[in-house]
Amino acid sequence: MKDQIWLIGFMGTGKSRIARPLAVALGWERVDIDELIEQEAGEGVPDIFRHGGEGAFRVLETKVIERVAQTPNVVVATGGGSVLSEINREAMKARGFIVCLDARVDTIAARVMASDAHVSERPLLQGDDPLARITSLKAEREALYRQADFIIQTDDMTPDQVTHQILLAFREQPAVPGNAT
Ligand code: S3P
């Protein structure tokens, strides 16, 4: 039985929002990769991008993911770009059940735009046309998100419903003989 759940998916699909109730339901620890990156760097995500570019952010992201991947009984909210690196994907898969939270572009835009602070915290959505940026970036990453063990369309669901569906999917996993931890 896998002893981690990793939440992947595009920005604004609810990864951080869902990690909390999911962790409570399982009696596991909640871990947020962006929060750990900020602790590691001693500055916020926008400042990491400003000072070291996306490359510096991705190096820290991989370092933190590799560390968390050693920890049992965790629900992990990742950043939307964590799937870009094969090292990250392999680390997550080793003992993790991978869940992709999906949403339509308009839902993502509405969630991300709901607060100005929210947009400014997401360096990759800066520019004149965040909607176009969401559309193209999401399309580029779609094949990687689709590699998840379970994909859930969140547009018309409450956080409680999403949490419940993930728990059902996780508990339905077949036990792999000889691979129990
Ligand atoms: C990113 C998503 C962000 C954060 C960083 C890069 C991405 O996390 O890690 O701004 O590449 O999609 P959220 O998905 O939590 O917004």
Pocket around ligand 1 at a 6 A CB cut-off: 11, 15, 34, 45, 79-81, 122-124
Tell the residue nearest (CA) to atom 12 of ligand 1.
80
Ligand 1, closest atom to CA 84? 11
CA dihedral (134, 139, 142, 144) positive or negative: negative
**Where does 4-172 sit in CATH, by number?**
3.40.50.300
What distance in angstroms lies between residue 11's CA and the mean position of ligand 1's atoms? 6
Probe residue for ligand 1, chosen from 8, 11, 63, 133 as the CB with the greatest number of ligand atoms within 8 Å = 11
- For ligand 1, atom 8: residue with the closest CA: 79
pTM of the model: 0.94
The residue extents of the domains of the chain are 4-172
- Nearest by Cα to 123 from 34, 17, 41: 34
CA of residue 179 to ligand 1 center, whole Å: 33
Residue with CA at minimum distance from ligand 1 atom 4: 79
User: Cα 179 from chain centroid?
Assistant: 25
Q: Report the separation in Å between the CA atom of 175 and the middle of ligand 1, taken as the mean of its atom positions.
A: 32
Q: Judge whether 57 and 45 are in contact, CB under 8 Å.
A: yes
Kindly give the confidence (pLDDT) of every residue in the chain, 181 residues in length, as a single tens digit, with 9 standing for 90 and above: 899 999 999 999 999 999 999 999 999 999 999 999 999 999 999 999 999 999 999 999 999 999 999 999 999 999 999 999 999 999 999 999 999 999 999 999 888 887 655 667 788 888 888 889 999 999 999 999 999 999 999 999 999 999 999 999 999 987 766 554 4
